[in-house]
Amino acid sequence: QVQMIESGGGLVQPGGSLRLSCAASGRSFSRDVMAWFRQTPGKEREFVAAIHWNAEITWTADSVKGRFTISRDNARNTVYLRMDNLKSEDTAAYYCAATTSAEILNRASYDTWGQGTQVTVSS
């Protein structure tokens, strides 16, 4: 069974940090672009960050640029999201996803999704 499972979410104070992990299984994801999206109630799922299969190219949304860093370990079939200087507006359910498409920023291009991990930023 192809599966992606997120972990590492939780409650953190503004200015704090979290590291999300997404463990993929069921097949090799070493040639996939892997990405993080987030979603809050009443809004569509939005792009956060993505990383090329060779890890030499990354993309980040303007809203998180300079604060979030995406990385991957292909030997472990795992993608990470390091989140620093968290703000209240970062509160959301965070989802990992994978695609072989070149449309990196297009949510519809991702075929495999995790179930999400909640990040809440509050004092």
Kindly report, residue by residue over 18-47, the tens digit of the pLDDT: 999 999 999 989 889 999 999 999 999 999
**Cross-strand pairs, 118:** 93
Give the CA distances from residue 100 to residues 51, 56, 65, 109, in Å, rounded to whole numbers and listed in that order.
12, 16, 24, 8
Binned at pLDDT 50, 70 and 90, residue 53 comes out as confident
Supply 46's token pair.
Answer: 């939005």
| Range scoring the smallest mean pLDDT among 14-18, 62-66, 107-111 | 107-111
Supply 123's token pair.
Answer: 């004092």
Binned at pLDDT 50, 70 and 90, residue 102 comes out as confident
CB within 8 Å of 48: residues ≥ 6 apart: 35, 36, 37, 38, 60, 61, 64, 68, 81, 94
